[in-house]
Structure formats: C-alpha cells, structure tokens
Amino acid sequence: MADYRVNLDIFAGPLDLLLHLVRKEEVDIYDIPIAKITDQYIGYIEILKSFDIDLAGDFLVMAATLMQIKSAMLLPPAEPDSDLLDGQADDLADPRKELIRQLLEYKKFKDAANLLSDAAASQRERFPRPDSIIEDINPDPEPQIDIDHVSVWDLLEAFGSLMQATGADRAMRHIKDDTPIDLYQIEILHRLQEEGPTSFERIFESKPNRVVMIGLFLALLELIREKLVFAKQSAPLSSINLRPLTDEPAEEAVQKAILALVEPEKAKLHPTKRIEEPPIPIVELSPKSESAIRSQKPGEGTVELTKDHTPQAAD
C-alpha cells in the first residue's frame, strides 16, 4: 500500500510563515523581535517535519538567515567604514533591514491577492433575479463556520498542540511480545476469581503498551467464547461488566478449554466445573388461584399462595 502524503502546496513559503509570526506578535514590521521570532520559526519547522521532511528543508534557509541576524544583533555594532555606501552602512547598523524589505514587498503582494480573492468571493454570491419568486426560502439558514480569517499556520499550530497533548510527537519504537494468549487468559480469569466481577475498562488499566493490550483483548474474547467469562452490557454504550463462570483454578480451566479445542473427546472425560445459576422455581397455578390473581384490583393488597396453591389474601 502506498504511503499517504499530505499536500502542502498551500504554504506560500518561508516569508509567509515569517509574516504570520510577526502578525501574531502584533508588532511593527520595522521592529521585529528577532530572538523571539527565530525561536518560534524553528518550532514551526519541527512541526513541518512530521508532514514532509523535504518541505521542511525549504524553510531551513530562512531559519539560517534568522539565526545569522540574531547573532549579528547580539554583537556590538561595528564602526562604519568610510568607504562604504550609505545603504551598506545602514545594513551594518541594522541587520534586519534586508529582511524587512523582503517582508514588506511580500506583504504588498499578499494583501493584493487577498483583495482579489475577496472580490471574487463577493461576485460568486451574486445571482440574477429569477422569473418567479421562490416562496420556500428558509428564514433561518444553518450557521456557517467562518474560516476566512484562519490561516494555514493557525491550523499548523493547533496540530502541533494536538500532537504534544496526545503524545503523538514521541518517537515510536517497535515492541516484540511473544507472550502466548493462554497466559493472558490465565491472568484475566485469575483476576476475576480473586477480585470478583469488574468492568471491561479495568482489565486494561496500567498496561505498558498497545501490544499487551491487544493480547489481553484477544485473550478476553477467547475466554468469552470458551464460556469461562460472562460479559454483560446493561444498556447501549454503557460499561461492559465481566464475571467468571468457573471457580476452578484459572490455569486448569484454561488448559481444559484449550484441550477441548484440540482433543474434544479427551476433554469430555474432565469437564470444566462451571458456576451454575440458581434455577427459578416454576409454580403451576390451579384455575381457582389464577382467577383470583387476575380479578385482583390495584390497591387491594396482594394475594399469597398456600402450600396447596390456593389463594389467600395477604395481611
């Protein structure tokens, strides 16, 4: 199966990200806080790597430029050489000047592009008047989500926060687990016998990794299929409760269940001792008793049966 790759062509490039950070800080372009902007810029590059490592490389040039400007601003200002032109002397005095010029030029074109986009969107909402008036117009249209003012970088920042909150940005390592399923079965059954009925969720609490959780889940399915564990859900979407169906030692019960699958004839000689539910007594009513119960009205008390199944009014 081919790998899925996220198409990031909507990113306008390094200058677009830099302009987004400047606007986010709400500072004037002529007074860019290089140190803070540089740190944020590098943070965005780390998020970009999770999308496309090749795309992140396009932004490294700008990151290197920001680091160079940051280093130059930390150094004491150099004495201007009399042989330098005025523009070159200004660049030495403020290393940000060339970067600011590029940002202003980029901002001019981006604002023009946004203006054209808004004009096109406004034009799309204009329609010619129909020949007849449409009566069934919904007076309360469904509210729409306004995403006109949400940039790609806002979404990227939200994605980075989500990755950090869920731990998805942590390095994944391959875990090999050769634990047999029957050992997980013994663990679950023994726990139910010792602690009593419990919920489905508690079986998986404090487990180290997904591999162990998958093994426990498969083992639980086997226990239910082998009728060693009973699962019950009282209502849709409610918690699933588990209880054991045998009081035999967990290891013996599981081994007998496995033997029943491999050698069913031999397993019949040593059946698993299961916990039986107490039977519900069934009482046959005489016609006279049945008629008395049916004729009873609400609020008149109850009718009890004597040993010979004849009706008798309760006190």
Tell me the two tokens of residue 166: 């869920």
Q: What CA–CA distance (Å, rounded) separates 8 from 48?
A: 10
Residue with tokens 């096109």: 120
Phi-psi region of 59 (alpha: psi -120 to 50; beta: other; left: phi over 0): alpha
114 and 197 inside one domain: no
pLDDT of residue 29: 64
213 and 157 inside one domain: no
209 and 261 inside one domain: yes
114 and 193 inside one domain: no
Q: What CA–CA distance (Å, rounded) separates 227 from 234?
A: 19
Q: What CA–CA distance (Å, rounded) separates 280 from 291?
A: 23
Residue with tokens 């491999």: 262
197 and 156 inside one domain: no
Reported as a single tens digit per residue, the pLDDT across 158-181 is 767 766 776 655 665 666 777 888
In the DSSP assignment, the letter for residue 238 is: S
99 and 222 inside one domain: no
Contact of 8 with 55, CB cutoff 8 Å: yes
Provide the 3-class DSSP secondary structure of residue 38.
helix
Residue by residue, DSSP assigns 126-149 as --PPPSS------SSPPP----TT
Q: What CA–CA distance (Å, rounded) separates 194 from 181?
A: 20
Residue 174 belongs to a domain: no
Contact of 228 with 251, CB cutoff 8 Å: no
158 and 29 inside one domain: yes
pLDDT of residue 146: 57
Residue 305, burial from CB neighbour count under 10 angstroms (0-12, 13-18, 19+): middle
Residue 168 belongs to a domain: no
Residue 172 belongs to a domain: no
Tell me the two tokens of residue 144: 């729409």
Q: The domain containing residue 76 runs over which residues? A: 14-121+151-163
Q: In the chain, how many domains are there?
A: 2
43 and 156 inside one domain: yes
Angle at 140 between CA 138 and CA 143, to 5 degrees: 120
pLDDT of residue 7: 33
pLDDT of residue 8: 36
216 and 156 inside one domain: no
106 and 228 inside one domain: no
38 and 156 inside one domain: yes
Residue 286 belongs to a domain: no
76 and 202 inside one domain: no
Residue 273 belongs to a domain: no
Q: Which residues contact 275 (CB under 8 A, 6 or more apart)?
A: 244, 245, 246, 247
237: domain CATH number is 1.10.10.580
Reported as a single tens digit per residue, the pLDDT across 47-57 is 776 666 566 66
Q: What CA–CA distance (Å, rounded) separates 160 from 154?
A: 10
pLDDT of residue 56: 62
Provide the 3-class DSSP secondary structure of residue 71.
helix
Query: What residue ranges of the chain have pLDDT lower than 70?
Result: 1-15, 17-19, 21, 23, 25-30, 49-59, 61, 77-93, 95, 128-155, 159, 162-163, 166-175, 207-208, 260-315
